[in-house]
Amino acid sequence: MSRRLLGLALIFPALAVIVFLFILPLIMSAVGAFQVESAFGWGNFVKTFDLYTKDIVFSVVIISLSTVLIGIASIAIGGYLTLGEHPVAVAILRWLYRWPMFIPFIVVGQILRTFLAKNGMMNNTFINLGLLTPIDAQSFLDWRGIVIAFVWKQTPFVTLLVAGAMASLNRETIDAARNLGASKLRVLIEIVVPQVAMTLTVGLILSFVTMMSVLSVPLMINAQSPTMLTADIAFRVNSYGDYGVANALGLVSLVLASSVAWIYLRASLKERA
Amino acid sequence: MERNGFLSLSGVASRYGSTQVLTDIDLSIAKGEFVALLGSSGCGKTTLLRLLAGFISPSAGEVVVRQRDVTRLPPDKRGMALVFQSYALWPHMTVAQNIGYGLKLKGIAKAEIASRVSAMQQMLGLQGLEARKPANLSGGQRQRVALGRALAVDPEILLLDEPLSNLDARIRLSVRHELRALQKRLGITAIHVTHDREEAMVMADRIVILDAGRIAQQGSPEEVYNQPASAFVAAFMGAENVLSMNGQPDGDAFMLQAGPANKATAVPFAGRKLSAGAVEARFRPEAAQLFATEEFLPRRPGVAFGGEVLAVTYPGGHWRHVVRLGDREIMADAPQAFSPGMQVVVHVPAESLFLFNSPAS
């Protein structure tokens, strides 16, 4: 009896943290989304879709595009680490690719602001090289900047997972395909990637959810309309004190994030069956 | 058989970092021959197979198939297909996709692939399994799929990397014969890596024994079994009983001096190359005959050792005895049991006693 109490006592702090700092605020925020001046109703959602449908679509498109690009980049890097035959190049890549993981999003935003602006480092370099005239220089500080920031920051994380899974594959399955005449690219696409598909999916979903919640990048790079949902939530709360619409926007993000998690759960159940 | 024309390796060497894995491998294999590369782990046999397959380049020497130098060719340009020890089936593909992948890579039409895959399934007894994934197959079925995948591309040379070592002992015995029969029927040249002596004996036309990256001996199963060229080969081929003796040539026989367990005995040379000095005598437990000391009458030429039975066990078919001969313990089989403590004579017929000069002499 006393042992059972002790056990409960031991997990109580963790449980309390989850209940009071996570579940309760989540429920309150969900309830708050349906509260309009102390009555329940759809008002916040009507307002959300009136004002922010464009931003919802913008967020989904940007994050989906980034996810696809992150997937391609991580397969390419992981594939080279697994199949590359130049040991020095492989070692350099292995050392290099992880760095962006240790840089906070806000710093990524700052770096890319100075890099992608109309008179930023990228355009200056092109102009100095004679590849671009100053008149043709354009700013990338719009949706493209957000995509570049996300891909740059999230690719190493997904690559880390994917390259780990590729490294633990049975090498003989790769040799068997080469033995039958498969090119490196075919080995990568037809043999390696299908075997790490589950890990790749998990990495991309975690990445998708992370990008859904990033505020600093859209604020730093693209503080105009349309923008990401996170920027809208911050704006609703900070400028208007309008927690109702902010909660509704939050709930929309939650539904978007859960829908990809649901895809993952379904795939993993199917694999186990 | 075009013994020198089909597949030959000359002066092949391979190193891994600073370790010399293979040294001076000269080997010529005829078309349709079944060659077993036999050796213990780390002897370089798998390295040799991977080198043949084209996954590793030799640091010296060349590999020639039909007078064509293939030493630097990529794996798929050599007309060889490899069956891996782990089978290396692709878990995300069905049986039919696994078998047909090599054909798909060759750009063969879908209908043609389907008919060839189904013919291959027919031949290997895999009918009805085409839609299964490898995870849902038994060990024996996986092994056959791996074989089918290699054979589907119609290779001239089949390379087998311990393909039976992951099978249950019972299945393994029948698969040996199936594989050998299939190889004969297709007339394909096969190179089979194994550490299992009996497997090599049963399956191969020729056995190549590797020791520390060199060929220790090659020959037919009977040759390597009955005329081992070195103490290593004798031990590897089951002559685990070892005694240290001394002797010198005496006419066309070799005179073994009396030792703690034996009288001086002459053994005919019969092809042995021996010089005076210390020799290592090796024989198999089943080659020895046991007699109670008082009943022993030498009928065949050979060496008689006197000793005491220490233990007796019954592994099946015969009794196996541990016998002390002087300061050594050896094993000897007999159709009837001799109880521990009995004084016995271990008689080893001359042709079953392998003698080698000890390296020190």
Distance CA B261, CA B346 (A): 10
CB contact under 8 A, A180 and B81: yes
User: Does residue A2 lie in a domain region?
Assistant: no
What is the average per-residue pLDDT within B185-197?
93
Please check whether residue A151 is in contact with residue A73, taking contact to mean a CB–CB distance below 8 angstroms.
yes
Q: Is residue A1 part of a domain?
A: no
What's the pTM value of the predicted model, to 2 decimals? Answer: 0.81
On chain B, the residues whose CB falls within 8 A of the CB of A194 are 90, 92
pLDDT value at residue B361:
45
- CB-nearest to A172 from B76, B86, B105 is B86
Query: Could you tell me the two tokens for B93?
Result: 């593909």
Single residue among B227, B261, B282 that ends a domain in this structure: B227
Domain shared by B306 and B215, yes or no: no
Q: Is A113 part of any domain?
A: yes
In a domain, B234, yes or no: no
Q: CA of A177: which chain B residue's CA is closest?
A: B102
Which among B227, B258, B277 is the end of a domain? B227
Q: Which residues of A touch B81 (CB under 8 A)?
A: 179-180
What's the average model confidence in pLDDT over B60-84? 91
Q: CATH code at B196?
A: 3.40.50.300
Q: Structure tokens of B129?
A: 């399994």
Is there a single domain that holds both residue B176 and residue B323? no
Q: Tell me what the mean pLDDT of segment A211-220 comes to.
A: 92
**A36 belongs to a structural domain:** no
pLDDT at A20 over 90: yes
Pair B31, B167 in one domain: yes
- In chain A, the number of structural domains is 1
Residue B298 domain boundaries: 239-357
| Total number of domains in chain B | 2
The parent domain of residue A222 ranges over 42-272
Q: Using pLDDT thresholds of 50, 70 and 90, give the confidence band for residue A110.
A: very high
Asked if the C-beta of B88 comes within 8 angstroms of chain A's C-beta atoms, the answer is: yes
Per residue in B144-163, pLDDT (tens digit) is: 999 999 999 999 999 999 98
Q: Are strands A39-40 and A35-36 parallel, antiparallel or unpaired?
A: antiparallel
Any idea what the CATH number is for the domain that residue B351 is in? 2.40.50.140
- Whether residue B16 contacts residue B59, with contact meaning beta carbons closer than 8 Å, is answered with no
Domain boundary among B196, B227, B258: B227
Nearest residue in chain A measured CA to CA from B103: A180
Pairwise CB contact (< 8 Å): A173 & B88: yes
3-state secondary structure string across chain B? CCCCCCEEEEEEEEEECCEEEEEEEEEEECCCCEEEEECCCCCCHHHHHHHHHCCCCCCEEEEEECCEECCCCCHHHCCEEEECCCCCCCCCCCHHHHHHHHHHHCCCCHHHHHHHHHHHHHHHCCCCCCCCCHHHCCHHHHHHHHHHHHHHCCCCEEEEECCCCCCCHHHHHHHHHHHHHHHHHHCCEEEEEECCHHHHHHHCCEEEEEECCEEEEEECHHHHHHCCCCHHHHHHCCCCEEEEEEEEEECCEEEECCCCCECCEEEECCCCCCCCEEEEEEECHHHCEEEEHHHCCCCCCEEEEEEEEEEEECCCCCEEEEEEECCEEEEEEECCCCCCCCEEEEEEEHHHCEEEECCCC
Q: Would residue A20 count as lying in a domain? A: no
Q: Does B53 touch chain A (CB under 8 A)?
A: yes
Tell whether A203 is covered by a domain: yes
Domain presence at residue A105: yes
Q: Rounded CA gap, B211 and B132, in Å? A: 41
Residue at A62 is within a domain:
yes
A209-227 residues labelled b (16+ CB within 10 A) or e (exposed): bbbbebbbbbbbbbeeebb
**The domain spanning residue A107 has which CATH number?**
1.10.3720.10
Q: Is residue B311 part of a domain?
A: yes
Confidence at residue B132, expressed as pLDDT on a 0 to 100 scale:
94
Same domain for B220 and B296, yes or no, is no
